[in-house]
Structure 1
């Protein structure tokens, strides 16, 4: 476990600049996971601040292909004054913050790993069938799966958690294939299944050595208007500084690489003693080739601002190593590294 501890402690009695007579309006997508995560944050805040209430402002699920489109819907609610706070999965957030908005807090990270879920009939067949059809729309997951085994056949699969799990259910039975599924397996983030209390369907947790997670995976980010000092004050006790340090390194690395949601890039940092351990990978989505870098760098010591700078430096060192090995040839629409 890391030595660093939160300097922001929960207290029995708290004060806040937020007007507790008004319900806190939390904007969220209407998917089951988004509602679950936003409700979880709302309940945590009401436990900290007695007298606080909250309500969810749902923006709906639109047929869009990029996760940052959902982020933009929530951000528009904030900028228009229709909501006070947005709860995002940190891995979905663009690296550059929208003008006038900021992250008020990164909350304690849940399990950051990816998991494989096999279809029930595939489990019963003792996983003997080949090729194994695995569903995922993530370029990062795809290239790492293709590097693990030639027996994997990766097929595109989009949608929320419920939609993707449904893809494992048997299709209409035929005489030739009475229990045939659309897919043999899918890959999801462990954190969402944990929050939805659906871990019983997980077949295997993929270690960072098997599959490097996305930057920010497993963490929630609380976003508000830069001018809303009352919201920053309200949410400050949900800040988890060890998580923030790790995400600083991960997100800065992605920034220097010029990575976006279409890039096959994974960066995962964790703290052990005073050392930050970083797993990273960049893949070529056309050839499925992978470049990997692992680093261990001391980041703890000094005040939190100093540790933040060390975390950024750690992310920069990893990005530079990846670039030296040719990562810039793998990432499309890449921007020049900047400090």
Structure 2
């Protein structure tokens, strides 16, 4: 067993919370092991004045961490699973997926209790095309503006009065102690979450069998099966931040249920479907649902976007 582990992490407060959480779990599991953090700045952290969809989508918050892994500077990287591309660089693998926190999107406002109570023409901030498309489908009257930055920065823009409400991942707010800012967890029939939202991903070198064995205890099988289904769906559709796709899977014993949407950018068209089957076949079910939705009109929606 290694006696020293270096975790690569982004520098945001949320990324540091997540990496410190994993570090604490490792120290508890392996008291003789020294665990340290190495802070790394990613492209997504450097470019904050441009919408995510215009600068590349998936991989913006992982590439530099993955380079550090491949070059041996770090032993593992901690990511929000929703930030990870479905195809990893050669030599790297997704070693563990932690137990999922609340996967939902949170409505945050200092004036209003829910999206339904927002007045006509209210200004709502989000950096996600997925959220924008689904919200516009239900409330086309809203003025949705791009919102970038760390959680603290986004909350500050709301508090400064730049917008009437913002949408953030519930898990991130809870992890940073901002549960009291959540006015509503948006129902999934209103806005499906992003692939992997609420779960943490641990990435390491494929050939580093010693570290991979040490990380096995972090893996939560029900979450892994559910997110395997979601990532398989996304991988088939080939969507990233540039395409409004939402998908959420839930395991119940030996079964898994998957719900997904493919939407046009303006929310005028939203295709929604579900599938259910054995959890052991989660990834295959995700692909099956993806193929079904592409044939039902998803391919036409994506053609207009791409």
Q: TM-score, normalised by structure 2?
A: 0.91
CA offset at residue 288 of structure 1? 3.5
- Corresponding residue for residue 47 of structure 2: 63
CA offset at residue 287 of structure 1? 5.5
- Corresponding residue for residue 178 of structure 1: none
Return 5+ residue gaps in structure 2 as ranges.
none
After superposition, what is the alpha-carbon deviation per residue over 1:145-173, rounded to whole angstroms, capped at 9, x for unaligned?
00112332211111221111111123xxx
| Matched pairs, number | 294
Contact 1:158 1:164 in 2 (8 A): yes
- Among 142, 153, 168, the residue aligned to 2:143: 153
CA offset at residue 330 of structure 1? 2.0
- Among 118, 124, 128, the residue aligned to 1:134: 124
Q: Is 1:331 matched with 2:299?
A: no
- Corresponding residue for residue 94 of structure 1: 85
Distance 1:58 1:230 in 2: 23
After superposition, what is the alpha-carbon deviation per residue over 1:33-66, rounded to whole angstroms, capped at 9, x for unaligned?
0000000000001001111221111113322644
CA offset at residue 273 of structure 1? 3.5
Return 5+ residue gaps in structure 1 as ranges.
1-16, 171-180, 300-306
Structure whose CA Rg is larger: 1
Name the SS of the counterpart of 2:46 in structure 1: coil
Q: Is 1:272 matched with 2:263?
A: no
Larger fraction in helix = 2
- Corresponding residue for residue 297 of structure 1: 277
C-alpha distance 137-313 of structure 1, shift in aligned 2 (>3 A): same
CA offset at residue 78 of structure 1? 0.6
Runs of 4+, deviation exceeding 6 Å: none
CA offset at residue 242 of structure 1? 0.7
CA offset at residue 112 of structure 1? 0.5
Contact 1:208 1:279 in 2 (8 A): no
C-alpha distance 51-334 of structure 1, shift in aligned 2 (>3 A): farther
- Corresponding residue for residue 176 of structure 1: none
- Corresponding residue for residue 72 of structure 1: 63
Contact 1:91 1:217 in 2 (8 A): yes
Equivalent residues in 2 for 1:3-152, closer than 5 Å: 17-18=1-2, 20=3, 22=4, 24-60=5-41, 61-63=45-47, 65=52, 66=57, 68-118=59-109, 120-122=110-112, 127=117, 129-152=119-142
- Corresponding residue for residue 283 of structure 1: 263
Equivalent residues in 2 for 1:222-233, closer than 5 Å: 222-233=202-213
Contact 1:263 1:332 in 2 (8 A): no
- Among 157, 160, 169, the residue aligned to 1:167: 157
CA offset at residue 122 of structure 1? 4.8
CA offset at residue 286 of structure 1? 4.7
Q: Is 1:220 matched with 2:218?
A: no
After superposition, what is the alpha-carbon deviation per residue over 1:174-232, rounded to whole angstroms, capped at 9, x for unaligned?
xxxxxxx1100111111111111111000100121111111111111100111111110
Name the SS of the counterpart of 2:78 in structure 1: strand
- Corresponding residue for residue 175 of structure 1: none
CA offset at residue 105 of structure 1? 0.6
Name the SS of the counterpart of 1:331 in structure 2: helix
Name the SS of the counterpart of 1:330 in structure 2: helix
Contact 2:243 2:305 in 1 (8 A): no
Cα RMSD for the two superposed structures? 1.9
